[in-house]
Structure 1
Amino acid sequence: MLQQIYPAPHHDYEFELNKDMHFAAAHYIPHEDAGDCQNVHGHTYFANITIGGNELDDSGFLINFKHIKTLIHKRFDHSLLNKDNRFSDKESMNFPTTEAVAKAVWEIVQEHLDTLEHQPRCLQVFLRETPTSYVIYRPKKGRVS
């Protein structure tokens, strides 16, 4: 796994959890401005998910790391992102660009966190598409999933 220091979001939570993972997935961007990316191609994405909270669950976790991996890795690894219901070939805001995938990861994680009694929050998703290109998604202050 790539060892890296990620840009940290500002927050006042007592606990901050970071989970690194990678997944291999293909995608294409069906827009003329995408150039060669209009063709199906793949990446090994590296993701860092940052979660904050003040309370721990009954087992002493903010969230168990394996739950985060299950939510994201199981869903996206060895997939064609364009076939995931979070993305569409019709609306440019829903093409599986790195920006849209980072936002989708945040939404998936936060939807799960919203079911937890102690209410941790997903603070940011760092998603590296290539060794030289990455996106950070942080929801606007006050955003509810």
Structure 2
Amino acid sequence: MVYITRRERFCAAHKLYREDWSIEKNENVFGNCSNVNWHGHNYDLFVTVKGDVNPTTGFLIDLKLMKTIILENIVNKVDHKNINLDVDFMKDKMASTENIAIAIFEVLKPLFEEQKVQLHSIRLHETENNYVEYFGD
């Protein structure tokens, strides 16, 4: 089994806020992340797939194809967008880094399966100090 990872970057805004809570409760739970005027991050996205090397090409997956899958289905949808308002795969979800990583995994998993590789993990860096890794169910 071989693992290969592709990194992409995007910038996006979001807010952690529950409409059914008071402003005070949102501020107590989410702090600055509940800012009424939103806030943003420069995200680093690491997508890792795994599988067997194709004996003909020597590739697990063509990295140009992997890049295209990630750009078309994730980065182009989130880059310079408001995750809460503009991103279809985040509709009705709290836009925490954890939930964003899970949603990205759910979008990409079947697309990589079509290429005969398995999505191993999504690693999403929100800041240089904080990141989430998700390995599926």
Preserved contact between residue 8 and residue 44 of structure 2 (Cα < 8 Å): yes
Which whole-Å CA distance do the structure 2 matches of 1:53 and 1:71 have between them? Answer: 21
Which structure has more relative contact order (CA 8 Å, sep 6+)? It is 2
Tell me the TM-score normalised to structure 1 length. 0.73
Q: Secondary structure at the match of 1:66?
A: helix
Q: Give the corresponding residue for 1:85.
A: 88
Which whole-Å CA distance do the structure 2 matches of 1:49 and 1:110 have between them? Answer: 10
Go from structure 1 to structure 2 and tell me whether the alpha carbon gap of 1:85 and 1:72 turns closer, same or farther (over 3 Å shift).
closer
**C-alpha RMSD of matched pairs (Å):** 2.1
- Give the Å deviation of 1:99: 0.2
Tell me the TM-score normalised to structure 2 length. 0.77
Query: Which portions of structure 1, spanning 4 or more consecutive aligned residues, are displaced by more than 4 angstroms?
Result: 57-61
Find out whether 1:30 has 2:22 as its counterpart.
Answer: no
- Give the Å deviation of 1:86: 2.3
Question: Structure 2 regions of 5+ residues with no counterpart?
Answer: 19-25
- Give the Å deviation of 1:55: 5.1
Aligned residues: 121
- Give the Å deviation of 1:104: 1.2
Which amino acid is the alignment partner of residue 136 of structure 2? P
Which amino acid is the alignment partner of residue 121 of structure 2? Q
Where is the helix percentage greater, Structure 1 or Structure 2?
Answer: 2
